[in-house]
A and B are shown apart, each in its own frame.
Chain A
C-alpha cells in the first residue's frame, strides 16, 4: 500500500510505500488512551508483476474500545460487532447502521464512512477490480481526516503523524531520473533524500484518482516513520501496537 501524509504546518504531502507480504497486519492507528485502534491486513496480487508481488490492504479492522464495537471491513463485506452480537452488511447495499455512538454509512460498492460521536471519522474506499484480471485483486483504501482528535499518545504508521513532525526540505535538484527531481529533507534529526512524485487520492475519482504531488521517502518510509515498518506488524487484526 502507498501512504500519503499531509503535514498542514509544512503544507507538504510526504509519501511512502510499504513493501511487505500478504497476510501481514500493519498497525495504522493505535491510541490506547482514547481506545481507538486501526489495523490493516495485506493481500497480495494474483501473481508477481516484473518479479515483484504487489500488496494492498485487503482487510481493515477498527476497534473502538469505549463503544465496545469492532468493525471489520473486507472487500467482501462489512462486519459490525457490538458487545457480543454481530451484523454483516454487504457491499451490494447502501446502508446506515448505528449503535450507541458509532455510525457506519455504506455506499453500495463504493465507500464506508465510520463516524464516532466525538468528531472522529474514517473513510474506507473499495477498489473493485475486474474479476478475471490476471494480476489485480480487489483492495481497500483508508482516509483519516487531520481533524480527528486522538490523544497526544496516538501512534501507528499513520497515527504517529497526528503530532506533525517538523520537516525542512531544501536543495531541490534534478534526480537520476530527469523527470523526477530530488531534494533533501530534514526530519526527526535525520536528513533524507526524497524524490518528487505522484500518488493518488481516489476519493473523488475511484477509477483514475486525483494526482497528489508529494515528496517520496524511499525504503518503506525509513527515517520519516518512527523505527522501521516491521515495528508496526501486529499479530491479530485487533491487536494494539506494542511500543518500546
Chain B
C-alpha cells in the first residue's frame, strides 16, 4: 500500500505517484514463480515514507528482493538467521526497513518494506517468490493478492500457465464484485494459457470521479490438467524429476469415519452454529457403504453411538438431530476424546466389523488447548500414537487462533494425516465442508512410489496411507543424467477392489523440446519443486524429530538447502543491502506454523524402493506363435501386403 496520491490524471500533484504495479506469475507444471514489481515517484516537496507491502501465500518461498532508491540499488541475499542479524546490526539502513510479518488474512503473510524517499526521488521494488500448486477438489488455485493501495498509471497482471500434461480447463472467477467484468483476458491453448489483467486508470477507480482504487483483493485463476489419458505424469528434466499422480476413474473405498467435535465453552456461539451446519452437510454426504459415529467432548466425552454404524438415511438423520442438540460448555479433554475414538475403531477392526478394503479416518475439530485431563501435549501425542492402529489416519482441524496449531499438526502428521487451520473470521462452515470434501473420497490405500534405479536419489516422501479423489500426490527426486537416460517408476497401491501396480517410463527429451519452445516456461521447475517439497517435508519432520540430535541434523540440512536454493525459510533471513554494503535491511520470516506444504493433503513417509510385487512380475502368457507348418504350395501375396484372407 502506498500513502498519498499520484499525478495529474490521478489527483493532486504534490504527492507520491504509483507509476506502475506489475505482477507476473509463471506456472510450469504446478510450480509457480511470481514477481511483483512497483515503481513510485515522490512528487511532494518533502521526504515521504513509502511502503511496499505485498501479501504472499503462506508456504510460498521468497527467493529474491531488489529495490532501487533514487539510483541506489539494494539487492537481497539469503543468510543463515544469526548471520543475517549480525550483518544487519553492523549497517542498519537509515530510514529503510524490511520484514516478513504475519498476515491477518487467511493463509497469507506480508512482505513489507518501508523506505523514506527524498523529494523528486524514484523508487522501484521487486519481489520474487515461488510456491507449489496443490490440487484440491479437482483443481489448482493460483491466488494473487493485488494491493497497490492507489491508482496506478500502469497496472498489469500476467499469469502464464504451462502444463505439458495439457490443460483441461481454466477459469478466472469474479472476485471484485463484477467491477472488472471483461477486464481479465484469457487465452488458452492445449498445453499453455495466459491470463492478463490490465485495468486502465479509469477502470481502477472505485467510481468515475473517485480517487481510490478498486484493485484491492485477489485475482484467482483456477485450472486443472488433462487426466483421462493416464493416472500418473512423470516429468524429468535437468537432473531432477517430479511425479504427479492423480488417478480418477476408480470407485471410492468405503470409509469408517469418526467425527470428534470439541463442544467446550469456547465453541459457544457462531463457531458451534457453523460447525453444526457443516456437520449436517457432511453427514448427508456419507455413502451407504460408509460407517460412522460422532464423539462430542468437553471435560466429558460422549458419543452418539458406542459403535460405528452404517450411514443409512435413518442413522444419518438421527446423528443430525443429536448434533443439533449439542450445547457447548465446560473444559476441553482432547486426550480422552481421541482415545475413545481410537478405541471404537480398534475394537471394530479387531471384531472384524470393518470392510477389509476400507479406510479408517478420525476427524478432530477443536478450537483450543486441552484444559481437562491430560494437559501435557507431548503426553497426548504419545498416548495417541501408542493406541492408534496403522490403518487409521488422524486429521485435525484447528479452529481460530487460540488453538495450538503446531500441536495439532504434529498429532496428525505422526498419525498419517494432516492438520488444517479453520479461520474463525471466515465462513467456518464452508471451510469445514471444503476440508471434508478433500478426504471424503478415498480412492487408493497404501500408495508407494518406487524408483528402482540406483542413480535415483533424494526422493521426497514416497509412501502414503491414502489417496483421495480430487487431489494429487507429488513426489520428486534427483537422478544422474549421465547414468540414466530414462526413469522407471513403479507405483503400488490398493484400490476398492484390486491391488494395483503402475509402471511409468519417462525420459528427459520428452520435455526438453516442449520447454525450449516457450519463453515463459521455467526450465528450472523440476529443481524448484523438488527443493520446495524437500524443505517443507524436512520442516515438518523437524517438528516431529524424536531427539535433539535428529533435530539438529535436519536443521542443518534445511539450512544448507535454503542457502543453496536461495530460499527464505524459518531458518534463514533475507539481507537487503546496497552495493557499498553500508546500508542493510533484514527481512526475517515471522515465527509461524510453517505447515508442511500448506495446501498439501498428504504427509507421507520415506521408504526404500520396493521391487515389483511377485504377482505383478508374472511374465505375461508366453507368446506361443502360430505354428507355421509347411510352406504354402504356391507363392502368396508379398508379405508386406497388409491383407488377410477374405471372401
Q: Are B230 and A93 in contact (CB under 8 A)?
A: yes
> Pick the contact of B502 from A94, A115, A179 — CB < 8 Å?
A94
CB of A82 within 8 Å of the partner chain: yes
* Contacting pair B497 A80 (CB below 8 A): yes
A90 to B645, CA, bound (A): 32
Complex contacts, A171 vs chain B, CB 8 Å: none
Neighbour of A203 across the interface among B504, B625, B629, B646, CB < 8 A: B625
Whether B645 pairs with A86 at a CB distance below 8 angstroms is no
Q: Which residues of A contact B500 (CB under 8 A)?
A: 87, 95-97
Query: When the two chains form their complex, are residues A99 and B620 in contact, meaning their CB atoms are under 8 A apart?
Result: no
CB distance from A92 to the nearest CB of B (A): 4
Q: A97-B498, A97-B500, A198-B644 are in contact. Are A105 and B616 (CB under 8 A)?
A: yes
Chain A residue contacts of B623, Cβ below 8 A: 123, 203-204
Contact with A along B621-636 (1 / 0, CB 8 A): 1011111110111111
Task: List residues of chain B with CB within 8 A of the CB of A218.
Answer: 647
B640 an interface residue at 8 Å Cβ cutoff? yes
Q: Are B621 and A86 in contact (CB under 8 A)?
A: no
Give the chain B neighbours of A17 by CB distance below 8 A. 644-647
Q: Please state if B636 and A180 are interface contacts (CB–CB under 8 Å).
A: yes
In chain B, residues 187-233, which have Cβ atoms closer than 8 Å to a Cβ of chain A?
A: 228-232
Beta-carbon contacts under 8 Å, B499-522 to A: 499-505
Q: Is the CB of A105 within 8 A of B250?
A: no
Q: Which of A6, A121, A174 is within 8 Å of B621, CB to CB?
A: A121
Point out the residue from B503, B621, B647 that lies within 8 Å of A94, measured CB to CB: B503
Which chain A residues border B45 with CB–CB below 8 Å? Answer: none
A-B contact count (CB 8 A): 166
Q: Give chain B residues whose Cβ lies under 8 Å from the Cβ of A219.
A: 647
B496 within 8 A of A: yes
A111 touches B620 (CB 8 A): yes
Q: Does A38 contact B (CB under 8 A)?
A: no
Instruction: Find out whether the CB atom of A179 lies under 8 angstroms from the CB atom of B231.
Output: no
Q: Does B480 sit at the interface, judged by CB under 8 A?
A: no
State the CA gap A98–B492 with chains docked (Å). Answer: 11
A201 touches B499 (CB 8 A): no
User: How many of chain B's residues touch chain A, expressed as a range?
Assistant: 35 or more
**B504 contacts A98, C-beta separation under 8 Å:** no
B645:A15 contact, CB within 8 angstroms: yes
B632: chain A residues at CB < 8 Å are 181, 196, 198, 213
Given A93-B230, A97-B500, A123 and B635 contact (CB-CB distance below 8 Å): no
Beta-carbon nearest neighbor of B248 in chain A: A88
The contact string, 1 if C-beta is below 8 Å from chain B, for chain A 179-217, is: 111000000000000011111110110001111111010
Interface residues of A in 86-139 (CB under 8 A from B): 86-90, 92-99, 103, 105, 107-108, 111, 113, 115, 121-123
| Interface flag for B549 (CB, 8 Å) | no
Question: Would you call B249 an interface residue if the criterion is a C-beta within 8 Å of the partner chain's C-beta atoms?
Answer: yes
B642 close to A (CB within 8 Å): yes
> A87 to B497, Cβ gap below 8 A?
yes
Q: In the complex, which residues of chain A have a beta carbon less than 8 angstroms from the beta carbon of B634? A: 174, 178-181, 196
Assembly CA distance A179 to B643 (angstroms): 15
Q: Are B620 and A123 in contact, CB atoms less than 8 angstroms apart?
A: yes
B390, CB-defined interface residue at 8 Å: no
A6, B504: Cα distance in complex, Å: 36
Q: Which of B251, B620, B639 contacts A208 (CB 8 A)?
A: B639
| Chain B residues within an 8 Å CB radius of A199 | 644-645
Does B264 have its Cβ within 8 Å of any Cβ on chain A? no
Q: Complex Cα distance A211/B633, Å?
A: 15
Q: Give Cα A80 to B616, complex, Å.
A: 16
A21 to chain B, nearest CB (A): 15
A98 touches B616 (CB 8 A): yes
Which of the residues A85, A90, A201 comes within 8 Å of B496, measured between beta carbons?
A: A85
Contact A86 B230 (CB under 8 A): no
Is B495 an interface position by the 8 A CB rule?
yes
Given A96-B616, A181-B632, A181-B634: A208 in contact with B645 (beta carbons within 8 A): no
Chain A proximity mask over B592-615: 1 for CB below 8 Å, otherwise 0 = 000000000000000000001101
Contact: B637 with A198, CB < 8 Å?
Answer: yes
For residue A4, which residues in chain B have a CB less than 8 angstroms away from its CB?
Answer: 626
Distance A210 CA – B251 CA, assembled complex (angstroms): 40
CA distance A209 to B249 in the complex (A): 33
Task: Say if the beta carbon of A166 comes within 8 Å of chain B.
Answer: no
Main secondary structure of the interface of A (DSSP, over half): strand
| B621 touching A123, Cβ below 8 Å | yes
A81 to B495, CA, bound (A): 11
Closest B residue to A80 by CB, please name it. Answer: B498
Give the one of B632, B636, B644, B647 with max A CB within 10 A: B644
A-side contacts of B647, CB under 8 Å: 17, 19, 218-220
Residues of chain A within 8 A of B231, CB atoms compared: 89-90, 93, 95
Residues of A within 8 A of B636 (CB): 179-180, 196-198, 211, 213
Q: A87-B497, A93-B230 are in contact. Are A201 and B631 (CB under 8 A)?
A: no
Of the candidates A11, A92, A97, A145, which one forms a contact with B501 in the assembled complex, judged by CB atoms under 8 Å apart?
A97
Is B618 among interface residues, defined by CB-CB distance under 8 A? yes
Instruction: Determine the chain A residues whose CB is within 8 A of the CB of B621 once the complex forms.
Output: 113, 115, 121-123, 145
Does A77 sit within 8 A of B, measured CB to CB? Answer: yes
Q: How far is the CA of A182 from the CA of B228 in the complex (A)?
A: 50
Closest to A96 in B: B616
| CB < 8 Å neighbour of A107 from B249, B499, B620, B642 | B620
Q: How distant is B315 from chain A, measured CB to nearest CB, in Å?
A: 21
Decide if A11 touches B496 in the complex (CB within 8 Å). no
Residues from chain A with Cβ under 8 Å of B249 in the complex: 77, 86-88, 90
Neighbouring A residues of B626 by C-beta, 8 Å? 4, 6, 13, 201, 210, 212
Say yes or no for A168: interface residue by CB 8 A criterion.
no
A99 contacts which of B232, B497, B501 (Cβ < 8 Å)?
B497
Which residue, of B228, B497, B632, has the highest number of chain A Cβ atoms within 10 A? Answer: B497
Chain B window 157-185, contacts with chain A (Cβ cutoff 8 Å), 1 for yes, 0 for no? 00000000000000000000000000000
Residue of A nearest to B496 (CB): A85
Q: How far is the CA of A189 from the CA of B228 in the complex (A)?
A: 52
A83, A88, A92, A213: the one contacting B628 at CB < 8 Å is A213
Q: A87-B249, A196-B636 are in contact. Are A94 and B644 (CB under 8 A)?
A: no
Complex CA–CA separation, A209 to B621 (angstroms): 18
Residue A242 lies at the interface, judged by CB distance under 8 Å to chain B: no
Task: Indicate whether A99 sits within 8 Å of B499 (C-beta atoms), given known contacts A179-B635, A181-B632, A214-B645.
Answer: yes
In whole Å, how far is A119's beta carbon from the nearest beta carbon of chain B?
Answer: 10
CA distance A213 to B632 in the complex (A): 7
User: Shortest distance in angstroms between B246's beta carbon and chain A's nearest beta carbon?
Assistant: 13
Tell me which residues across on chain B come within 8 A of A46, comparing CB atoms: none
Contacts of A174 in B (CB 8 A): 634
A172 at interface (Cβ–Cβ under 8 A)? yes
Which of A2, A87, A210 touches B495 (beta carbons < 8 Å)?
A87
A163 within 8 A of B: no
Question: With an 8 A cutoff between CB atoms, is A12 at the interface?
Answer: yes
Task: Give complex CA distance A13, B640 in Å.
Answer: 21
Please provide the 9 A-B residue pairs with the shortest distance between their CB atoms, ordered closest to farther.
Answer: A88-B249, A96-B616, A197-B645, A92-B230, A82-B497, A113-B620, A94-B503, A85-B496, A85-B497
15 A-B pairs in the complex with CB atoms less than 8 angstroms apart: A4-B626, A17-B644, A17-B645, A19-B647, A83-B497, A90-B228, A95-B500, A95-B502, A97-B498, A113-B621, A121-B621, A178-B634, A181-B634, A209-B642, A212-B628
Given contacts A77-B249, A96-B612, 9 further A-B contacts (CB under 8 A): A6-B626, A82-B497, A85-B497, A87-B495, A181-B633, A197-B644, A198-B637, A198-B643, A199-B645
